[in-house]
Every structure is written in C-alpha cells, then in structure tokens.
Amino acid sequence: MKFEPNLDEVYSLKAADDGWPDTWHRFAERHMHAVQAALACQRPLLVRGEPGIGKSQLARAAAAVMHLPFLRFTMTAQTECADLLYEFDAVARLAQAQVLGRVGGTDWQEQLAVDRFVLPRPFWWALDWQGAFAQCLRYADGNENAARKLQPRRPPDWQEEQGCVLLVDEIDKAEGDVPNALLEGFGSYSFAVPEVGRHVSLPKGHAPPLVVITTNEERELPRAFVRRCLVLQMDFSKDVLLERGRDHFGKSIDPSVYEAAAEQLLKDRDAATAFGPVRPGVAEYLDLLRILSERKGKSAQVERLTQVRDFVGAKNPRQHLREAASE
C-alpha cells in the first residue's frame, strides 16, 4: 500500500451509514510520516492524544486517500479479545435448538452446527475478506443477498489483495489483558476460531491491513503492547485549532473571529484545570465555529461569540458558578 497524500489539500470525508458525519481533513507532515512508517514495518500505529483531537479521523482519512475499506471497532470495558475477531451467537443457537425440539426434524445436527452461528468481526474482514464473506454465507443459510448485507462497505473497484484500514478505537477503555491478547493476532496476521476448529490468516500475496489504535490515556497500556506499536502523539495547540477551523469553515468566518474563538477556548481550558476535570478541545472549538458561521460579518460573529461562549467551553459546574458571579 502506498500512502502519499497531498499535504496542501483539504480532503472531504463524506458521511456513510456507519454514523460518521461529513467532515474535512488535512494531513500534517508528521502524521503522514507516521502512517508511512507503520505501513513499511507492518506494525500497528498507536495514536495518543486527548479526545476530539483527530486520532480516529486520521485512520478514516488514510483509508479514503488509499481507496481502501475502513473498518472500525470501538473498545468498551466489557470488550474481550474475541469481539474484534468474530462473534459466536450462542443465544441464536439455543433458540434454534428450542424450535427444533418442538417441531422435530432429521437434520437437527446440521441445523445446530456451530459454524452456522459464527459471524466475522472487523479483524477477520481485514485479514481475509473472501473467507469472511464465505462464513457470512454459512451464517445466512446460503442466502447471498443476506450475506452481502453483513459485509462492511468497500470502495468501488477495490480488490481484496489491496488491504484495508482497521481502526481499533479507545483501547484504553478495555481491560488490561485485552491489548496483550491482541498482540499475537496483530503480529502474525492470523487467529484461531476454536468453536469451529478454523484458522484465519492473511492470504499469500495480500497486503496486510493498516491497523490504527487510539487511546485517550484513561488507562496505562501494557508495556509489551506499546513496544509492539509505532507511536504517534497528537498534541493540542492553538495552531491546531486555527488550522482545523479554517479547513472546516474557510472564509465563512472572519479571520479575527477565528483568533478570538481560539483564545476563548484556551481560557476555558485553563479554567478547567482549576475548576473541574472536563477540558474543551478541538471538537468544542469546531462546535463554536459552527454556531458563529450562521452569522454574517465580523461584528455579528463577535457578538454571537459573547452570547454562546459559556455553553460551549465552560463544561464544569464551578466554571458556570464563576461566570454567573462575575456578571
């Protein structure tokens, strides 16, 4: 896979049926080099940074530039390693057994075969798309239309051997044993499905997936896991705010208003350090600009900034109390 984005271009990322909205992305040179390095050494790219700074969007934008399928899995405190690989629908199998117990039948062993209740998850698709689809056919009783509805979106004219981009989002929310359990699969590009005695692996001649993993630093990750990754730190700064804002809203906002909104957000971040745990970031800055973009002209936008700034950046109760006392 080649990754050579135009650093001067602002890429449009169109909404899909996966819940992602329309947005814009410009690649920083450092971020481009990090993705290129991960592709070259075939290691996961661990992206660190506070929420809303663009970690997940980097993976989505990379997939768009390379015209590859974008697969996403978001970790939770309940996530187990197998959840990224496949799903065994034990509830559906039990329900089928109960139905067969009432109506009978001679093919009950086939109807209850374990592999009819195994559904591929993102890492399976990222490794072996054709094998994952074949398993979906089995899951869907051979109904090809039903199986196609189970497969992820893919770009037109994409070929399976070109690879995919897999985003493992917010890995710090998972229990500490989950990252280490994923090491073998990410390193060998293979995993076992013990329920059906099957081994899934990357077909010969196929490009391995680009695996992008994000963390909000809510929990320290295992050292062995971090050592197996390349690490990109996304830092917050005023320059990041201004560039992201201009990429999204262009000339619809006065240049001085970009500055004023950024300064307001930085003040709110400083106040949050003293008054509470919730600090506004890039996402809140874009929300603020989205509100201001509805007004035309500098004076109207400055007035609107004064009216709405408390609702966007002052997220801690004590910040609101402070603002109320100063009025």
| Chain segment 211-269, per-residue pLDDT in tens | 999 999 988 999 999 999 999 999 999 999 999 999 999 999 999 999 999 999 999 88
Residue 42: per-residue pLDDT? 95
Q: Which long-range contacts (CB under 8 A, 24 or more apart) does 11-16 make?
A: 11/61, 11/64, 11/65, 13/57, 13/60, 13/61, 13/64, 16/153
Query: Cα-Cα-Cα-Cα dihedral of 144, 147, 148, 151, to 10°?
Result: -160
128 against 275, higher pLDDT: 128
| Architecture of the CATH domain 11-89+96-233 | 3-Layer(aba) Sandwich (3.40)
| Chain segment 154-212, per-residue pLDDT in tens | 999 999 999 999 999 999 999 989 999 999 999 999 999 988 888 999 999 999 999 99
From 77-86, 269-278, 282-291, the region with the lowest mean pLDDT: 269-278
Partners of 88 in the beta sheet?
A: 118
pLDDT at residue 17 tops 60: no
pLDDT at residue 18 tops 70: no
Segments making up each domain of the chain, as ranges: 11-89+96-233, 238-326
From 85-89, 114-118, 303-307, the region with the lowest mean pLDDT: 114-118
Cα 15–Cα 247–Cα 28 angle in degrees, nearest 5: 95
- Average pLDDT score over residue span 52-64: 94
What does pTM read for this prediction? Answer: 0.88
